[in-house]
Amino acid sequence: MDITIVEGDITEQQIDAIVDAANSSLTGGGGVDGAIHAAAGPELLSHCRALREEAWPDGLPPGEAAATPAGRLPATHVIHTVGPNRHAGETDPAVLTSCFRRSLEVAVEIDAVRVAFPAIGAGVYGWAGADVAEAARSALDEIAADTTGRFDALEEVRFVLFDGATAEAFRTAFAGGAR
């Protein structure tokens, strides 16, 4: 599997699936979540509402992931995952790692071979600054932990990061290897 790190707009990625740093309601919000919903159009919200009705009536819990069609995005699917909210006292890095693991598992379930991630939790959920490195390590740790081959079908995991500082934090974490 190729791991790439780019600075850019995740909504413009021509890829099998993009990961949405969603909120539990799956109805859109700020940051990456809002940008994805705006670019995908009303179809994405309709798919999210159906997902809530069918599978997650109480909302998608932190650390879990679920897929929908991507609406008007160039990607085929959106994988929604809810990161831990540090501002709400959710500081367990295992939940953040679960976001990456479950998103990768869902990518395999939907037959995606190329998936793009944002810096989950690094925006409004407060894993910014020095903690961006922790978000990057969580992603790397989960990819490195795959000794069973469950992610072998994935050809590329792309991290699409909104600014140079975040991209550099991910590059540094990846250059240093897993914790």
The catalytic site residues sit at 33
pLDDT in tens, 107-126: 999 999 999 999 887 765 65
> Average model confidence (pLDDT) for the chain?
87
Neighbours of 50 (CB within 10 A): 12
Say whether pTM exceeds 0.95.
no
Q: Name which of 82, 99, 91 is nearest 136 in CA terms.
A: 99
Q: Name which of 72, 83, 90 is nearest 19 in CA terms.
A: 83
Euclidean distance between CA atoms 90 and 14, whole angstroms? 33
Domain ranges of the chain: 2-176
Confidence of residue 27 (pLDDT cuts 50, 70, 90): very high
Euclidean distance between CA atoms 49 and 64, whole angstroms? 17
Euclidean distance between CA atoms 60 and 65, whole angstroms? 7
Euclidean distance between CA atoms 135 and 100, whole angstroms? 10
pLDDT in tens, 143-158: 777 767 888 899 999 9
Q: For residue 59, with 0-12 CB atoms within 10 Å meaning exposed, 13-18 middle and 19 or more buried, which class applies?
A: middle
| CATH of the structural domain 2-176, one choice from 3.40.50.10380, 3.40.220.10, 3.90.950.20, 3.40.640.10 | 3.40.220.10
